[in-house]
Chains A and B, each alone.
Chain A
């Protein structure tokens, strides 16, 4: 069976500090991978998606970047965090046009 992991689970960072969130998927190959953000009072917003190693598409211009160094690894990064980067970050995977499965999320608070 497939599982998806995210870490860390929670993170408190000062404004201007760097960020690295990691997502890994087990039990599948060549998945599509996604990063979403859920901010207070707002719906889930798609940030990035990837259809293969090194292939990243950005949905929203922002202070964040993503990378996919391995088939089942997806990383979300920032060089300098802003207050507005606070939120709940969710990683997801899917194959083709079937169900999308989500990880447990990372709660990021920028102070």
Chain B
């Protein structure tokens, strides 16, 4: 059974610092990995998708890396802003029909 772990569960950083969020998964046979953002009481917003053949993806201040063999992904958010405060979720595709297994998330607070 695929297990996804996100560490730390919660963190606070001052505005302007870079954020580093970690995700690990137990079964390296994934089709893709997706990072999401969730604001309180809201649905999930897709941030980045990394296919299994890729090593990283970038979008603006966001960069996500994938090391399939070691079962790890890292989301970097450069120059954090208070608007980056949210919960960030990592999910791996279980293959058939793109079912996703999620971690419990990193709850981030960026302090102005």
Contacts and interface: CB of A to CB of B under 8 A. Distances in A.
Interface of A: 32, 34, 42-46, 49, 51, 57, 59, 88, 90, 92, 94, 96-105, 107
Given A32-B98, A34-B100, A100-B34, 6 more contacts: A34-B99, A46-B101, A88-B41, A90-B44, A92-B44, A102-B36
Contact of A101 (B4, B31, B46, B93): B46
Contacts of A90: 43-44
B109 interface: no
27 contacts: A32-B98, A34-B99, A34-B100, A43-B89, A43-B102, A43-B105, A44-B102, A45-B102, A49-B97, A57-B97, A59-B99, A92-B44, A96-B98, A97-B51, A97-B98, A98-B32, A98-B98, A99-B34, A99-B49, A100-B34, A100-B46, A100-B98, A102-B36, A102-B43, A102-B45, A102-B46, A107-B41
Does more than half of chain B's interface fall in helix, strand or loop, or is it mixed?
Answer: strand
Say what secondary structure dominates the interface of chain A.
strand
Nearest to A41: B104
Nearest to A88: B41
Given A100-B34, A105-B43, A43 B104 contact: yes
B102 A49 contact: no
